[in-house]
Amino acid sequence: MLIVGPPGAGKGTQASRITSVYGIPDISTGDIFRANIKNETPLGQQVKAIVDAGDYVPDSLTNQLVTDRLNEDDAKDGFLLDGYPRTLEQVKYLDDLLASKGQELAAVIQLVADQDEIVARLSKRAQEQGRADDSEEAIRHRQEVYLRETSPLIDVYSRRGLLVEVDGLGAMDDVAARIRSALADRGILPLEGAGEPVA
């Protein structure tokens, strides 16, 4: 499965709940990059140099990272990808990678949230945490970049009938329940005995 949603829609929170309830790993490309940079792996050093220069990590590097992670044992029976794919080239690569393993995507969870609501939520959080970089202008810019980059991908998955739209606004528990209900409608059921993580 994939999870997509604008910055501030609570994607990280819901991803950890989904992986707990469905017994699959949460694979966030951002987390993998950060872990590699922190551990100063050869890949991490490569990524750090690119990021420090203000450039985007190229598809080839990101694809390799995802391939390595999906080849690990815990991803054999399913996974939740967060932050990948981000481009149509990455969509094609993921299609080919999964086909080579005899796997396919079951669902693409899209957290939908009103932009003004998200801006208000993030502005409030920025004030509470004293984050000067989170001005309303900066937040709106990130939302626009997300929409521009993600729209083509959402169109592809929508045409394939994989898109599961879920209202991302409201209490965390309510959003989690909506996701479970929407996935159950597609025959994707939680792991027996799996519990909700403590928020």
Q: Would you please indicate which residues are annotated as catalytic (active-site) residues?
A: 11, 86, 125, 131, 142
- For 56, residues 6+ apart whose C-beta sits below 8 A from its C-beta are 50
Specify the residue for token string 């481009």.
Answer: 87
User: Could you give phi then psi for residue 137, rounded to 5 degrees?
Assistant: -60, -45
Q: Do 77 and 24 form a contact (C-beta atoms < 8 A)?
A: yes
User: Could you give phi then psi for residue 91, rounded to 5 degrees?
Assistant: -60, -50
Burial 118-136 (b: 16+ CB within 10 A, else e): bbebbbeebeeeeeeebee
Q: Do 164 and 182 form a contact (C-beta atoms < 8 A)?
A: yes
